[in-house]
Structure 1
Amino acid sequence: MNRRVNRGRALRVAVCLLLLAALSGCMQLNMGLTINADDTVDGQLLLTAQKSVLSNRNKNLPVAFAELRQNIPALPAGEETLYQDDTFYGSQISYRKAPLAGFDTESVKLVRDGDLYRFTLPIDPKKYGGKVAEQNPQNQQAFLKLMSFEISVTFPGRVIDSNGTVNGRSVSWKVDSNQEKPTELRAVAEAPPRPSASPAAADDQQPG
């Protein structure tokens, strides 16, 4: 009886190791955002996977990427186009004067809080690797560990707190694959005063 249990456990471990080998270098999330003083956002987000990893899953790269992307929480919507080079395949999302409200998502939270901008990118194993976890819950943590993140955010005002590298009004983070991940990437920066109503508009609102 014990031998059967041990064989079953060994089989599960072997399947897990095969999965992790297939996901090695799994997915890359690269993002560069610039927040404008009018509460809009410019920039790009790039979500990719190695072509070799995708072709091991399915020779049809678009199908393989779509399946793997199901493990990623919802990304801020923008103009999405295909990205590929000799090594990577994925999606590029571009933002041009995108409303700040569109960046309050599962994957990225960029909000204005009075006279502050708050940026958070949660690196939560419960948010990443959901489809992988259906096969084995232990693989969810492994999926996230195998991901890499390279993020840069530029604010219109002074950065007052972050757990990244600050360079002027920009904050950057680089979290490599197969590296323990922080629970979140975060930054807080000053926001400019909101535009006030023009004197002419104010006069129009005065009672006659």
Structure 2
Amino acid sequence: MLLSVLTGCVKVELVATVTADDTVEGSLTAAVKREAVEVIGAEPADEFVAALTEDVPGTYEERDYDDGEFLGRTVYYRDVSLGRFSRSDPDDTDSATLRISHDGDRYRLDGEWRLPDLDGTDFVPTMDDSTLEGAEFTVSVTFPGKVLEHNGSLSGRTVTWRLEPGRTNVMTAESAEAAPVDVALIVLLAGIGVVLVVAVLLYLRLRRYSIGNRPRPRPGRVTVAGR
């Protein structure tokens, strides 16, 4: 009920990065528009934010969120296995599922999120249409390797979906594993770095040795020209 009331006045942003060791890290932001907080009160807004951000697996940090338009909270999570990340809330399986799997040399994402209609006029009649239509629901997932298929917006290895209220949003994506050449390049660069460090240390040592063994001038009389 609370989500239906606040739809159109909220921001929900899920950011996830799938690592090469099959864990997920990222953040989840839930926030309510300032205008909505003023109309419905701080307590219902806090309840909405808490319902989404409490008990997020792998949470290691929480921060207040304020971008000047929305107020809420961001939680940061890490080291969440693909299985745990993909486990849906058993009380909410009809409205939201998001699963990421690793099979062979492919990563696969499948998700369906059902968002309620943007209809808050009965509860917040003082809000104009632009405020009610300002809801932001986004899901961004960065994959370890090249993205091969997707039905969102692609930027590099990150696929972003902007979910629309009032319909079931279907999300799909498939990516390759991290390219072996990337790993080889990292190893190569690390090796070059070690060689350079050793070369510099060897140069400095030889330089100190040559300076310390340079022949010193023998003492003697100084002859002045013309005398």
TM-score, normalising length: structure 2: 0.54
Q: What pairs with 1:56-95 in structure 2 (closer than 5 Å)?
A: 56-58=39-41, 61=42, 63-69=43-49, 76-77=56-57, 78-79=59-60, 81-85=62-66, 86-95=68-77
1:203 match: none
Cα offset, 1:54, TM superposition: 2.3
2:149 match: 161
Q: Where in structure 2 are there 5+ consecutive unaligned residues?
A: 89-95, 124-132, 180-227
User: Which amino acid counterpart does residue 56 of structure 1 have in structure 2?
Assistant: V
Q: What pairs with 1:12-161 in structure 2 (closer than 5 Å)?
A: 23=6, 25-58=8-41, 61=42, 63-69=43-49, 76-77=56-57, 78-79=59-60, 81-85=62-66, 86-106=68-88, 107=96, 108-125=98-115, 147-161=135-149
Cα offset, 1:171, TM superposition: 1.2
> Helix, strand or coil for the counterpart of 2:79?
strand
CA deviations on 1:15-40 (whole Å, 9 max, x unpaired) are xxxx98x7463221112221111011
Change (3 A) 1:76 1:111: farther
Question: Residues 33 and 70 of structure 2 are in contact (CA less than 8 Å); yes or no, is this contact kept in structure 1?
Answer: yes
Question: Residues 22 and 81 of structure 2 are in contact (CA less than 8 Å); yes or no, is this contact kept in structure 1?
Answer: yes
User: Which amino acid counterpart does residue 188 of structure 1 have in structure 2?
Assistant: E
Residue 173 of structure 2 is aligned to residue 187 of structure 1: yes
Change (3 A) 1:47 1:73: closer
Residue 180 of structure 2 is aligned to residue 174 of structure 1: no
Change (3 A) 1:79 1:181: farther
CA deviations on 1:129-170 (whole Å, 9 max, x unpaired) are 9xx9xx9xxxxxxxxx87422232111122121101223322
Change (3 A) 1:153 1:75: farther
Larger radius of gyration: 2
How far apart are the structure 2 equivalents of 1:76 and 1:184? 22
Question: Residues 41 and 100 of structure 1 are in contact (CA less than 8 Å); yes or no, is this contact kept in structure 2?
Answer: yes
Aligned residues: 154
State the Cα RMSD in Å: 3.6
User: Which amino acid counterpart does residue 183 of structure 1 have in structure 2?
Assistant: N
> Helix, strand or coil for the counterpart of 1:183?
strand
Cα offset, 1:116, TM superposition: 2.3
Question: Residues 103 and 111 of structure 1 are in contact (CA less than 8 Å); yes or no, is this contact kept in structure 2?
Answer: no
Question: Residues 26 and 53 of structure 1 are in contact (CA less than 8 Å); yes or no, is this contact kept in structure 2?
Answer: yes
Question: Residues 80 and 91 of structure 1 are in contact (CA less than 8 Å); yes or no, is this contact kept in structure 2?
Answer: no
CA deviations on 1:28-58 (whole Å, 9 max, x unpaired) are 1112221111011222121111122123112
